[in-house]
């Protein structure tokens, strides 16, 4: 029987500390999470204009996740999904950008 080699990132079952670079990258990500979600929502609106069928439904689902991350009420997200109109989402994103 061969034994598994210990994971190089584990030391006595505990993860090694993150480097300063990794800590900074993680910190920046969480500080800019709203901006990242807003940018991704903008990209998805473009995709909605260009796609049809299953891909379009997949983009709507992903967009709903990003809108929820931006603290948009679930009722409003559901309404946007029902309307299936990227123009409505684009208007909402413009309003969010003005607030930022």
pLDDT at 2: 46
Report yes or no on 70 lying in a domain.
Answer: yes
Identify the residue with better confidence: 5 or 16. 16
Report yes or no on 47 lying in a domain.
Answer: yes
Domain count, the chain: 1
pLDDT at 16: 72
Range of the domain at 56: 31-99
Report yes or no on 55 lying in a domain.
Answer: yes
Q: Please say whether the beta carbons of 84 and 60 come within 8 A.
A: yes
Tens digit of pLDDT for each residue in 26-45? 999 999 999 999 999 999 99
Q: Which residues contact 38 (CB under 8 A, 6 or more apart)?
A: 66, 70, 93, 96, 97, 100
Mean pLDDT of 21-29: 93
pLDDT at 100: 75
Res. 91: pLDDT tops 50: yes
């Amino acid at each position: 029987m061969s034994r598994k080699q210990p994971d190089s990132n584990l030391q006595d079952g505990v993860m090694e500390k993150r480097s300063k670079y990794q800590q900074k990258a993680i910190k920046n990500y969480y500080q800019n999470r709203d901006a990242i979600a807003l940018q991704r929502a903008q990209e998805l609106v473009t995709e909605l204009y260009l796609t049809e069928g299953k891909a379009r439904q997949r983009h709507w689902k992903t967009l709903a996740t990003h809108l929820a991350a931006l603290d948009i009420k679930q009722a409003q997200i559901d309404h946007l999904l029902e309307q299936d109109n990227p123009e409505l989402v684009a208007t909402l994103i413009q309003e969010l950008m003005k607030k930022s």
